[in-house]
Amino acid sequence: MIDKLVIVESPAKANTIKKFLGGKSKVIASMGHVRDLPKSKLGVNEKTFEPEYINIRGKANLINLLKKEAKEAKKVYLATDPDREGEAIAWHLAYLLGIDKNEVCRVTFNEITKTAVKKGMENPRKIDLNLTDAQQARRVLDRIVGYKISPVLWKKVKRGLSAGRVQSVAVRLVVEREEEIEKFIPEEYWNINLIASDKKTKTKFEAKLVGKNGEKIELHSKEEVDKILKDLENAKYKVVDVKRGEKKRNPAPPFTTSTLQQDASRKLNFAIRKTMTVAQGLYEGVKLPEYGETGLITYMRTDSTRISDEARAAAKEYIENKYGSEYYENRFYKSKSEAQDAHEAIRPAHIELTPEMIKNSLTVDQYKLYRLIYNRFIASQMASAIYDTISVSIDGKEYNFKANGQTLKFKGYMTLYVETEEKEEFEKIPELAVGEEVKKESLDAKQSFTEPPARYTEASLVKTLEEKGIGRPSTYSPIITTILMRRYIEKVQKQLMPTELGRIVNKLLIENFNDVINVEFTANIEEEFDKIAEGNENWKKVIKEFYGPFEETVKKVDKELEHVTLQYEESDVPCEKCGRMMVYKYGAFGKFLACPGYPECRNAKPIIETLDVPCPVCGGIVQIRKTKKRRNYYICENNTGIGSGCYYISWNKPKIGEKFVPNNDIDKELFDKETKKRSSKKTTKKKTVAKRKSTKKVAKK
């Protein structure tokens, strides 16, 4: 008989914890959730709002194993992740294993280290029912919204679509940003820069026109610029003010989930989902020589910037030994008011394990992310960078120019970690004195136009979701992953753009469910979930208050849309079967042409994009196609498979005059795959035709 059975979520975490628990202890993984709402029905009682949980399909053997091991153990500890989701999994496990809700069986670890595991095991507690209620409230509300709204999309757009309470708001943000960009009207503006030099050292520097007679000036036309340039033709330029100072730049706090996702996207080009997957592996444990399975970072789902006293002391020792005491500064960071402060910020679990020391034991991605986390944390406890600054005001007649410069005097934390927008050196301004005349080298006028707001990237969308209070650390990654998988948005060179399908779905939802699919409601309901987690609100009461008005809205919308037909954009392509002009529709793989006469006429065909560049082999038209993973490749229209007249197919976009080398390994691999696929289709078609002929012969006999 075993003394302790410890149940965690993943095998990697189980392997790491095993080595810290001696004696007759056993660690088993539940492989995530074991119970959930059924997929085939609502699964929520619409009067009491009681969820109808069932065991997840395919987990029967695992559940039986857990029950068997629990019976043989003197004590069962539920050590799932230290957040609401982990608390809910522990609650479901307790139900399946017959553990009383008042049993002291719950243990949590903010980091998978010997000290943290030992401390967690020595301080078990009851399952926090407030946290499980908050998770249930989210799950039930999301199920109600998705289950009730999705059929509206099926009726009016296409079957298989789905709407989500939070995901639909994220889509709305992306669509509205795209509409802003489309409606944006650029405005002309001009800058005039004086390129000058001091007469002593001949050092050149640049000063920008900022005003006239002390009043701010803005230039919007060439006529205004030409007038000023004419006024300044014979001007002399004199220094009227010199201000010197010192500026400090403070380090950023250690990572939260959101800031980690943003920085990994900007600096490492990691997708949000990839960041969380790699971070999960670092948290659960990596096999290191001499150390065995070792958790390398603290829990990666947090919105707190707090760090423990032990971590602070370790950082101090590391910084003073490596860089010197002048580089250390004891810093405390204030978390946002709505932050759930149960966990520390994301930081290395073992300061002594530097990225370079364990590099050979990590994958390339693990090393990159661990180094980012490690350096950010150490930098957060380092001294500020210090700059010497200078601001020089220069007058030419009645026109006012300003030159700003700064020089890095003390690197401080920037020795280790630099934000992407930070620059170590700025333009250096020569030593100038008030009353000194500077020589004009040239006056440069530059025309510019205001630019539309930037499209969201995964990083900037996460930042916006966090700022607006939409979702929580554990939901940012699933939100973006879901709307990309549903093809409501697509990623083009890191930028998020709505698809036509996303626009249609968004329009339908806003017009009919604006009270639910909006930023304010989504942020407010997150606050309600937080109140439930704190024990200050009843979760069923929150659902009840939402459900009544929402159900009425659904009935009203369903009735109003009963006789409404979705209008599709008409193309200029006639249907070859019935003559009607085909329309654009949207499916799982994007836009396609379909006959509006459906279901009488079921004709449909893909929209084939082409290039203006001719095929480098035969001069034919080059088509743009996509792989299953949505990657573009290029193929000649005359390449129809085995024995065709043209063999052009390539990952690389062709260029005019460029020769195609078919022996290129990458293109050859693509060619072989395409040939094999077409050959397989032809073989299957031949077999199908032969089978039909055989069936007909048998039927005649």
**Which DSSP string do the residues of 405-443 spell out, in sequence order?**
EEEEEE-GGGGT---TT--S--PPPP---TT-EEEEEEE
Contact (CB, 8 A) for 229 and 381: no
Nearest to 591 by CA among 618, 573, 617, 578: 573
Count the Cβ atoms, other than its own, within 10 Å of residue 155. 14
Nearest to 601 by CA among 619, 583, 626: 583
Give the sheet arrangement for strand 621-626, strand by strand. Answer: 609-614, 621-626, 632-636, 649-650
Per the annotation, the verdict on 584 as an active-site residue is no
User: Given the structure tokens 């399975």, which residue do they identify?
Assistant: 293
Count the Cβ atoms, other than its own, within 10 Å of residue 115. 12
Asked if residue 599 has a cis previous peptide bond (ω within 30° of 0), the answer is yes
Cα distance between the two ends of the chain:
71
Helix (H), strand (E) at residue 693:
helix 665-700
Burial class of 696 by CB neighbour count within 10 A (0 to 12, 13 to 18, 19+): exposed
Q: Which of 237, 299, 328, 399 is catalytic?
A: 299
Nearest to 260 by CA among 412, 463, 83: 463
Name the residue type at position 350: H
Name the residue type at position 323: Y
User: Given the structure tokens 């059929």, which residue do they identify?
Assistant: 151
Count the Cβ atoms, other than its own, within 10 Å of residue 557. 17
User: Which are the catalytic amino acids?
Assistant: 299
